[in-house]
Structure 1
Amino acid sequence: MPLILQSTTPLSAADLDTARTLARASDLVLRSDTVAAAGDCAPLTPALRDALDDFCGPRAIDWAVVPAGRRLSDFRLVAMDMDSTLITIECIDEIADFCGLKAEVSAITEAAMRGEITDFNESLRRRVALLKGLDASVLDRVYDERLRLSPGAERMLQTVQALGLRTLLVSGGFVHFTEKLKARLRLDVTRANTLEIVDGKLTGNVVGEIVNADVKARTVQEVCAQIGATPDQAIVMGDGSNDLKMMAVAGLSVAFRAKPVVRAQASVAFNHVGLDGLLALFPH
């Protein structure tokens, strides 16, 4: 199986030599200053995973062992989480900042993402309830003033879209943001939660079915069926425990600057490179 190394700075010959030895790779050839690939390496055992983590982590190198013989164009769907994956912020935390409750809401968000709060629905309701009475105009302020795309997001999306892959943004966050991003980035499908707004104010309630881990996984499967693809032809990118179920149904799962529980279960982890690190994993 091919071994891919990526960094945001040039890879050194010494680092390549050590990584090649660790992985028992026959060769490790630079594709660019920041990307190197070996055609084959040793089986990815827990011991090899730990060894690569221990060596690459302190050097800000991301490594991946990917299935041989696949091209990026063999996939049909790229599905992404929104908060802290496609974008750099947690929208609910930034909304809460406008009513002085960011620390309290962030603590619940972090615990949920780490998997310490197992009932996502309840954790979301608790956080949204704290927003009751907030002027809905705050949502636009968060989008305009604080929302930023993650590094490499636009390049990754433009490339996969040019290859004909469909795109899905599925989020435990809010429709207000996913709809704006859908138009901005020309995404095919989005799904998220709807905040109830009455007389221009947030009521502290969520309308309709909450997009939790099960709904995320179901949505990936439904969109695959709609486009005539199998889940094995889906790439899923996420960062928190709420993403694990949809990552598990995919042919390739990418943990993006993720919590340890997610990195441990993902096919690939990007801790340093941007979302466009996906483009280096397979020939196009």
Structure 2
Amino acid sequence: MRYKLVAFDMDGTLILEESCWGMIHQRFGTRTDALRNLMAYESGQIDYKEFMRRDIALWRPVPTIEDIKKILSNYTLAPNVKMVVEEIIRRGFQTAIITGGLDVLASNVARELGIPHVIANGLEVDESGYLAGEGILRVEPRQKDRNLVRLAEDLGVSLEECVAVGDGKYDVNFLKKAGLAVAVGNNPELVRVADVVIESFDHFPRLLDYLG
């Protein structure tokens, strides 16, 4: 096969929810303050580690990790994505999720879809299971390409044999690094660097044709 690994973004790609962080802020009523944090991150005033720290500090009273899991359990898979991933796996491709979202959600999505490799950020907890106020940074959202490089090396796959699938502006470098760049939706920044653009996974036959 020309390609061997298909790596997916999660938020807005595999699931309909645009941000798992946003799901939590919705629950705590902290979306306005969270937007200020996001603007500070996007403008370069703070790094992503500090962004996570500030976001977590908004959630009061301090939740347990089980509280967070419960909030994030109410996600919705993108239409037809389960069928698409199952077919990709059936054809012998390796699959992965690389996301700036949280591992407590990514692991559930991966389990439901049968995806074995998951790289996502985490939340530090204390001995009682309450959030300790720090994030565990594994994926800088704008640098998912670095995670793809490491995963490809671990799996013995060249970057030319990788397919990256994403939906938003944070996925630009991720898609540019792969041998085949697939944009889901019509984000203009992503469309400019994509080899293939699909409106949704409803158009999965077209995507599978490109995979070969």
Contact 2:181–2:194 at 8 Å: present in 1 too? yes
Q: Are 1:204 and 2:133 matched, yes or no? A: yes
Q: Is the 8 A contact 2:149 2:159 kept in 1?
A: yes
| Structure-2 change in CA distance of 1:95 and 1:251 (3 Å) | same
- Alignment partner of 1:128 out of 21, 34, 56: 56
| SS of alignment partner, residue 169 of structure 1 | strand
Which string of whole-angstrom CA distances, capped at 9 and with x for unpartnered residues, describes residues 170-226 of structure 1?
11111111222222222121011111122232233113x341146521221222223
Kindly indicate whether residue 185 of structure 2 is the aligned counterpart of residue 257 of structure 1: yes
Normalising by structure 1, what TM-score?
A: 0.64
Task: State the number of aligned residues.
Answer: 207
More helix by share: 2
Counterpart position of 1:183: 111
Instruction: Work out the CA distance in 1 between the residues paired with 2:85 and 2:109.
Output: 12
SS at match of 2:189: helix
Per the TM alignment, residue 150 of structure 1 is displaced from its structure 2 partner at its CA by: 1.0
Q: 1:100 aligns with which of 9, 15, 29?
A: 29
> Equivalent pairs: percent with the same residue?
25
CA contact (8 A) 1:196 1:202 kept: yes
Counterpart residue number, 2:144: 216
Partners of 2:163 and 2:26 lie apart in 1 by 33
SS for the counterpart of 2:25 is: helix
Unaligned segments of structure 1, at least 5 residues: 1-72
Structure 2: give runs of 5+ residues left out of the alignment.
none
TM-score w.r.t. structure 2 length?
0.83
* Contact in 1 for aligned 2:15/2:78 (Cα 8 Å): yes
Question: Do 2:163 and 2:178's aligned partners in 1 also have CA atoms closer than 8 Å?
Answer: yes
Q: Is the 8 A contact 2:99 2:141 kept in 1?
A: no
Please say if 1:75 is aligned against 2:25: no
Tell me which residue corresponds to 2:13: 85
Deviation at 1:273, TM superposition (A): 4.8
State the 1:275 CA deviation: 6.8
Q: Distance in 2 between matches of 1:229 and 1:260?
A: 29
Contact 2:88 2:208 in 1 (8 A): no
Q: Is the 8 A contact 1:213 1:245 kept in 2?
A: no
Does 2:94 align with 1:166?
yes
* Superposition RMSD in Å: 2.7
Report the Cα distance in structure 2 between the residues aligned to 1:117 and 1:86, rounded to whole angstroms.
27
Give how far 1:280 is off: 4.7
Q: Compared with structure 1, are the counterparts of its residues 117 and 274 closer, same or farther at alpha carbon in structure 2 (3 Å cutoff)?
A: farther
